[in-house]
Structure 1
Amino acid sequence: MPFQGLILIGQADPKLRPFIYQPMTGHGAMSSQFIFLFFARTANHVWARTYSHAPTGQLVPKLWPFIYQTNDRLKNILQVLGTVPELSDALPLTDDTRMTASVLTSKLYDDLRCDSERENFSKICEEYITCNLPANSSGNLHAIHVISGLLQGPFDVGNRLLNLNGVMQNMITLSASEKELEQIVAVEALILAAAKASHANFITTNGVSLLKDIYKGARSEAVMIRALVGLCKLGSAGGTDYSMRQFAEGSTGKLAKQCRKWLCNTALDSRTRRWAVEGLAYLALDADVKEELVQDGPVLQAMLELSQTSDKTVLYAVVSTLVHCTNSYEQKEHPPEMVELAKCTKQHIPEEHPKDKKEFVVSRVKKLLQAGVVSALVCMVKSDSAVLTDACKELMSRIFLALVEDVCNRGTVVAEGGGKALIPLALGGTDTGRTKAAQALAKIAITADPRIAFPGERVYEVVRPLVALLDPEKSALQNFETLMALTNLASISDGLRKKIVKEKAVPAIENYMFEEHEQIRQAATECMCNLVLHSQVQELFVADGNDRLKLLVLYSGEEDEALARAASGALAMLTASRVELFCHPIGVRGLAIVLNLMNAGKDLAECLVASNLVEILSHLAHLDSCDPERKRVTDAAQACLSKAMDYGLIKPYSYKDGSTLQD
């Protein structure tokens, strides 16, 4: 998976120019690819976007000497993270810059290869925070803003900084300030800090009443919405567990109603409306809130339109809300035995909300499709922004998989460009995200014509993620759906069959032909039936020293009709394309068996003649018999045909060479 770096393009302090352009060489780094760390000091604008370069783990030896071992360059990144735009000495940044810098710190931290390097990273951040905390009011704001940025990037580092002496107390104190800016910065930090259970408990104990007072007494909507989101996050601490509600009955609904009201208010600035989406993302863990949200058309429309604006920092909140509405988040299944054991030991058992049952989820998905969620997701995938992180892509993949779960919805997803959008999601991102996207592609390829779902050359791009899904570590359903999708693709053209072979799918498909699961074995055999039309696959079957042909013959006699049909179909195509198969001893013996069946009686002979076996025998009987091996084949075939003529099942026909066969 490529490492996602950052380009910040603008005007820089002359002191920073020596490390603006540093070529990456050695340790597997790709040639002609570079890192740009270019922070605005006097510019009016900063543009940010992602840049792919060396794989994770290969970048550190060249990257870190330029980041933190010389002139404390990591602190320059922290300075951007801590920038409060409203202050007079703030750097001139765009709305996306801080989030982009958070993504950068996250990628840099993830790329570290040992504990000592991670410890060094954390210590630099700690020193930076402790130097600013005892300072004046603006210094406190700067330090807390840095922690907020790190909580959105390398969370472990941000969480460690929260444990520093006085940090949490400072946040609580500033949130009670009469100054609007201090309240905004502190409440934002409290919202992010509440992700950790220990800190959430601290905030619940010390800050809930304060957040309520801020919400009720705030003079500006900017402060009010942040306090509301803080309450929303604390209220969702129980997750999807119906029995762990944090607030009184009806309180969550009131919070959601206010969030929806602000979201629909187009007179508010995009940042305030973005916070409204954040609040809904937390509250949407409650099934009552999900139901109200999907039934409110204007709110859905406003949320999807907001995701297509220039402010891409709202993307994660939007897709999180959609994941909760579609119930596509990771759900743990509790075996009945474990549930009974928990009851006996009086342990807490998570309780499912009545409105999270399958029929409610199906209904919500249909309403989201009607609201145009697919078009919105397609636009999100296309957005060129560092904010579109791998975690965000994974959530999109989950949503797409939930949308195509119902066969009836797949046509809508394809018509609105969902098939095209899934391909990049299946090729990049987290392992889970790629798996979910590939499974969604498989579901589409099973029921829709791949030439329509993935028009033009795009159909070839679908093969690689599908082949990657053929893995014993994946679920049986994922492997089964992948095999069926590849079967459909292999039936389209020889070019696609060649692509499947090139991606080394044949060994995996052969492996699944031995699977104990009947449906998987059948799907693998059907896929191989279509692949044998390709010459390279045929070579595998005609090569000496393998039992592939024997396996097909064996499966042709299985009681499972679908399996026998697939295996016999593969045999029919192989024997039609590769006559030399009959020159093999097993081919001669097969003809001997056919002759014995003919001799057994007219009824059996009629069954054989009714099949396409006569055409094969006719072709074999007229082969060039100069080769002794081939002569045995032609003699056996002619004997079978002669017996059929004796029964009057076929009529004689004279070739130019004088040989007589059926009409």
Structure 2
Amino acid sequence: MESYENEIKECTEALSKDPSGASQLLVRRAKAYESLGHNDLAYADIRTAVQLDPRNLDAVDAAQRLVRLVLTPADSASSPNTIATTKDSAEAERLSRMQASLRTVSDGDDAAIASFVRFTAFVDVLRACDLETATPDERTLALAILSRLFNHPRAQESSSSSNSPSGSTYPMDLIKQTCAAHFVTVLDSTSKRDKTLAFSALSAIFQTSVSVGASILNRTSILEEVADCLEYESVDVQVAVADVLALACSDRTCRKNVAVYCGEYLARVVSKKDADERLKVAAGVAITKMTMVEDEDELGRQAGAQEAGNGDPGDLAADMMKLQLKDDKLADLFRDLIKNPKSERATLLNAVEGLAYSSLNASIKEKITADLAFLKSLFTLAQQPDTASNSPLTYGIATILANVTMYRPALTDEQKQLKRLRDLANAKNASKNPGGKLPAPDISADPRDDEPAVSSRCVALVKHGAVSALVSLAKATSDNTRFLVVQSLLHLATPQETRGTIIQQGGARLLLALSLHGDKETVACAAQALAKIAITMDPRVAFQPSQRLELVRPLLALARGEHQLRVFESLMALTNLVSVDEDVRNRVHREGGMTAIENAQFSDNIMIRRAATEALCNMMFCEPVYEMYATPGEGAPQNRIKLLLALSDVEDFQTRRAASGALAILAASPGACGMIVKEPRGLDVVVGLVSDEEKVEIQHRGVEIMRCLVEFGGKEMGDKLVEMGTHVRLAALVKDCEVMEIKGVAMETLKVMAASGVKM
């Protein structure tokens, strides 16, 4: 019993702090309530969970079980928790029928489901989707039934094995046909209430399955008939229609048809100053979805996808120009609604969704960043329990931040070639049809998406509290939301000046947690963001000792990958980490990190090769690694020294400095000195390190290696160095070098040679 009470307490606290994953938390709490016998409280949680996320099948399963316990108890007199006794007889009867329907779609075979869909019980379910007339219990059951019908496991089997005689006979086509027939029948009514009901049902269908909703709306003449008289309908009917159109525009085919038949109407609605706020924002979302994917649809039309018809999706742009309606105006509408504390919940969700699409536009990204009042409202919204409980809302906010902070990806050679071909095709089309529509502008060339502009936005967002908002959003159970949060933090950490603030506001702690658990891409992005922070920040300031140790595994995972920038940044971060902490060096060794570092030294990328060599140099202070390199032996030990000598003779200064630094550390071992001398060009490379053309940092490493060679090699080694004229160069360093450390080591080396009897 105590464990269930603790579960309830834990879920309640999580909901109060940041209920962005409310649907799943409510399911957990409901199960705990149920185990304690509090079925009424369990059902209340499940009802809310289903309405928040109709596609949450855990909630649907729990609803199916709990309605049997709560709404139809076997003995109401002995079931004090039941709420069925409070229902009037008519409502209780409707709920009883809907419970039976839920059992049918959950437990019945394909024939039973087909029979249910053919009769009036299914129509009752569609009618129960109406927010105005249906009770919360009825709507909960209706959403659960539709979610189960459209997302049934056998529906997937039927789709994948439709040509197989042994495949499932799940009646998905019948379900779609019946939904469409009901929609058309109710829509043909002259009653305002019936029309509102029709679109409320279609809205619920889109919420539970976009593909089923699209199959209805895209049927021949439906949108055309809707558009013919839409402007003359009541405001409530128009709002219901606009809500459906906004949902429908997530589907590409729907988006095209909506643009053809309803684009002009939607543009007029948004341009009216006195239009109903609910209607205006829903229309704005639909238009934004259509306009922000114009490039994609334009490419489809250029490929011959345009169909003959009464209109063209491009006519929407003409309608908007005629009404002086620009993307910026729509974004301003969405921002104003988000800033307005009196905005209704549904209106707020639509505004966030619309801005999530609008924020793909560079000019709107700049406006968002410059509007400090809006940023304050958005960040507050992200952290408020009473608004963040809606998963689509948190996803929308995370999308806005990811878009605004997004750096333009570097194009591969293949992508550059495809872009040139597309630009050429656009130019040819324009020349063939000079009076026709201009090709879509190349938004990828907008200077407001160049690196300096994006970095400026990132700095401003961090300054005004974006990190705290992202930390709150990351508590969502949605993998997609968490990925967007991590992606945003990765972008925000790109300018060096933001990294200290990210650490102070809990961003690094969040990234570390997300780098250890989650889907592959989220883990990789989190690790890369941490690498950026660890490259320039003092690890002793940025991370606690235990955090420094935890960083090793995700950074090594990046170093073993194929993404070159991530490999480079992870190696740079490891270089910094192992330079200050013996425990970190030991952890890198135990985790097999030396293999990753050594493999990176063979990279064709000079930056990766350099970073790997710098990390290796710092790892020489780890005793097991030192012994691995300093202990003589054929094969791997000798090859390691050979590689370090080769890298000490490359053109890149930083690589030479790191490789010769590793050799200088190893030269304190007689075994390592023996392996250096054994290499045919070993002495030549060492002598080259002290040439008068080298920088003092490398000269210092060279004289240190020479001193050790003479100490361990005695007169024989001294004579070889004299034959190569090294004593002359050492004398010049003693006389002319301004760095006292180099002057002192060079003098000491000459003294050792003289003491060994070397004639100079």
TM-score by length of 2: 0.63
Q: What is the one-letter code of the residue matched to 1:443? A: K
Distance 1:224 1:526, change over 3 A: same
Which of 283, 289, 296 is residue 233 of structure 1 equivalent to?
289
C-alpha deviation, 1:38, in angstroms: 0.8
**Unpaired stretches in structure 1, ≥5 consecutive residues:** 21-33, 45-65, 621-632
C-alpha deviation, 1:131, in angstroms: 4.4
CA distance in structure 2 between the partners assigned to 1:233 and 1:540 by the alignment: 60
Which of 346, 352, 363 is residue 271 of structure 1 equivalent to?
346
Which of 394, 397, 404 is residue 325 of structure 1 equivalent to?
404
Q: Which residue of 2 aligns with 1:551?
A: 643
Q: What is the one-letter code of the residue matched to 1:326? A: T
Q: What is the one-letter code of the residue matched to 1:38? A: A
C-alpha deviation, 1:430, in angstroms: 5.2
C-alpha deviation, 1:349, in angstroms: 6.5
CA distance in structure 2 between the partners assigned to 1:233 and 1:266 by the alignment: 25
CA distance in structure 2 between the partners assigned to 1:358 and 1:641 by the alignment: 52
Q: Does residue 529 in structure 1 map to residue 617 in structure 2?
A: yes
Residues 300-321 of structure 1, C-alpha deviations (whole Å, 9 max, x = no match) = 1111111112233311221222
Tell me if the contact between 1:326 and 1:402 (Cα under 8 Å) persists in the aligned partners. Answer: yes
Residues 80-125 of structure 1, C-alpha deviations (whole Å, 9 max, x = no match) = 998555443433899xx989x9899999899999934999899566
Q: Does residue 392 in structure 1 map to residue 437 in structure 2?
A: no
Structure whose alpha-carbon radius of gyration is higher: 2
CA distance in structure 2 between the partners assigned to 1:550 and 1:170 by the alignment: 79
Distance 1:569 1:363, change over 3 A: closer
Q: Which residue of 2 aligns with 1:484?
A: 572
Which of 458, 461, 469 is residue 558 of structure 2 equivalent to?
469
CA distance in structure 2 between the partners assigned to 1:87 and 1:489 by the alignment: 63
Identity rate, percent: 26
- Normalized per residue, the structure richer in helix is 2
SS of equivalent residue, structure 1 residue 611: helix
C-alpha deviation, 1:165, in angstroms: 7.1
CA distance in structure 2 between the partners assigned to 1:490 and 1:140 by the alignment: 65
Tell me if the contact between 1:172 and 1:186 (Cα under 8 Å) persists in the aligned partners. Answer: no
Distance 1:158 1:141, change over 3 A: closer
Tell me if the contact between 1:438 and 1:466 (Cα under 8 Å) persists in the aligned partners. Answer: yes
Please give the residue correspondences for 1:240-279 in structure 2 after superposition, counting only pairs within 5 Å: 246=317, 247-248=320-321, 249-279=324-354
CA distance in structure 1 between the partners assigned to 2:381 and 2:177 by the alignment: 38
Which of 303, 323, 334 is residue 416 of structure 2 equivalent to?
334
CA distance in structure 2 between the partners assigned to 1:103 and 1:334 by the alignment: 45
CA distance in structure 1 between the partners assigned to 2:408 and 2:681 by the alignment: 60
TM-score by length of 1: 0.71
Q: Which residue of 2 aligns with 1:148?
A: 206
Q: Which residue of 2 aligns with 1:198?
A: 253
C-alpha deviation, 1:588, in angstroms: 6.0
Q: Which residue of 2 aligns with 1:187?
A: 242
Q: Which residue of 2 aligns with 1:70?
A: 107
Which stretch of the first structure deviates more once superposed, 549-558 or 609-618?
A: 609-618
Q: What is the one-letter code of the residue matched to 1:554? A: A
Distance 1:165 1:345, change over 3 A: closer
Q: What is the one-letter code of the residue matched to 1:232? A: T
Q: Which residue of 1 aligns with 2:62?
A: 38
CA distance in structure 1 between the partners assigned to 2:685 and 2:335 by the alignment: 80
Q: What is the one-letter code of the residue matched to 1:364? A: R
Which stretch of the first structure deviates more once superposed, 271-280 or 498-507?
A: 498-507
Which of 417, 427, 430 is residue 506 of structure 2 equivalent to?
417
Distance 1:590 1:141, change over 3 A: closer
C-alpha deviation, 1:201, in angstroms: 1.6
Q: What is the one-letter code of the residue matched to 1:563? A: T
Tell me if the contact between 1:328 and 1:399 (Cα under 8 Å) persists in the aligned partners. Answer: no
C-alpha deviation, 1:572, in angstroms: 2.7
- RMSD, matched Cα: 5.4
Tell me if the contact between 1:480 and 1:520 (Cα under 8 Å) persists in the aligned partners. Answer: yes
Q: Does residue 88 in structure 1 map to residue 181 in structure 2?
A: no
Residues 524-556 of structure 1, C-alpha deviations (whole Å, 9 max, x = no match) = 111111223334434543464221122112222
Which of 352, 362, 387 is residue 455 of structure 2 equivalent to?
362
Tell me if the contact between 1:82 and 1:144 (Cα under 8 Å) persists in the aligned partners. Answer: no
Q: What is the one-letter code of the residue matched to 1:397? A: V
Residues 563-599 of structure 1, C-alpha deviations (whole Å, 9 max, x = no match) = 22211222233343x54445xx63564799879999x
CA distance in structure 1 between the partners assigned to 2:722 and 2:126 by the alignment: 90
C-alpha deviation, 1:418, in angstroms: 2.1
Which of 665, 673, 678 is residue 573 of structure 1 equivalent to?
665
SS of equivalent residue, structure 2 residue 416: coil
Tell me if the contact between 1:81 and 1:102 (Cα under 8 Å) persists in the aligned partners. Answer: no
Q: Which residue of 2 aligns with 1:440?
A: 529
Q: Which residue of 1 aligns with 2:751?
A: 650
CA distance in structure 1 between the partners assigned to 2:714 and 2:532 by the alignment: 47
CA distance in structure 1 between the partners assigned to 2:369 and 2:178 by the alignment: 48
Residues 257-279 of structure 1, C-alpha deviations (whole Å, 9 max, x = no match) = 32222222112333322322222
CA distance in structure 1 between the partners assigned to 2:375 and 2:342 by the alignment: 17
Which stretch of the first structure deviates more once superposed, 205-214 or 456-465?
A: 205-214
Distance 1:300 1:559, change over 3 A: closer
C-alpha deviation, 1:206, in angstroms: 1.8
Tell me if the contact between 1:378 and 1:421 (Cα under 8 Å) persists in the aligned partners. Answer: yes
CA distance in structure 1 between the partners assigned to 2:757 and 2:273 by the alignment: 104
Residues 596-645 of structure 1, C-alpha deviations (whole Å, 9 max, x = no match) = 999xxxx9xxx89993347635874xxxxxxxxxxxx6785798999999
C-alpha deviation, 1:429, in angstroms: 5.1
SS of equivalent residue, structure 2 residue 602: coil
Number of aligned residues: 583
**Unpaired stretches in structure 2, ≥5 consecutive residues:** 1-21, 44-56, 72-80, 82-102, 117-121, 187-193, 300-313, 431-438, 693-698, 728-745
Q: Which residue of 1 aligns with 2:87?
A: none
Which stretch of the first structure deviates more once superposed, 513-522 or 268-277?
A: 268-277
Which of 653, 671, 677 is residue 561 of structure 1 equivalent to?
653
Q: What is the one-letter code of the residue matched to 1:282? A: Y
Tell me if the contact between 1:410 and 1:444 (Cα under 8 Å) persists in the aligned partners. Answer: yes
CA distance in structure 2 between the partners assigned to 1:133 and 1:593 by the alignment: 82
Distance 1:579 1:652, change over 3 A: closer
SS of equivalent residue, structure 1 residue 462: helix
SS of equivalent residue, structure 2 residue 136: coil
Which stretch of the first structure deviates more once superposed, 564-573 or 360-369?
A: 360-369
Which of 342, 355, 358 is residue 283 of structure 1 equivalent to?
358
Q: What is the one-letter code of the residue matched to 1:650? A: K
Distance 1:647 1:115, change over 3 A: closer
Q: What is the one-letter code of the residue matched to 2:586? A: K
Distance 1:340 1:275, change over 3 A: closer
Tell me if the contact between 1:226 and 1:275 (Cα under 8 Å) persists in the aligned partners. Answer: yes
C-alpha deviation, 1:182, in angstroms: 5.6
Distance 1:133 1:104, change over 3 A: closer
CA distance in structure 1 between the partners assigned to 2:274 and 2:635 by the alignment: 82
SS of equivalent residue, structure 2 residue 62: coil
C-alpha deviation, 1:457, in angstroms: 1.6
Q: What is the one-letter code of the residue matched to 2:442? A: E
Tell me if the contact between 1:328 and 1:402 (Cα under 8 Å) persists in the aligned partners. Answer: yes
Q: Does residue 407 in structure 1 map to residue 496 in structure 2?
A: yes
Which of 451, 454, 458 is residue 543 of structure 2 equivalent to?
454
SS of equivalent residue, structure 1 residue 437: helix
Tell me if the contact between 2:644 and 2:663 (Cα under 8 Å) persists in the aligned partners. Answer: yes
C-alpha deviation, 1:298, in angstroms: 0.8
Residues 345-394 of structure 1, C-alpha deviations (whole Å, 9 max, x = no match) = 4475642345444444333333322321122112211x2x33xx232233
SS of equivalent residue, structure 2 residue 377: helix
CA distance in structure 2 between the partners assigned to 1:184 and 1:431 by the alignment: 41
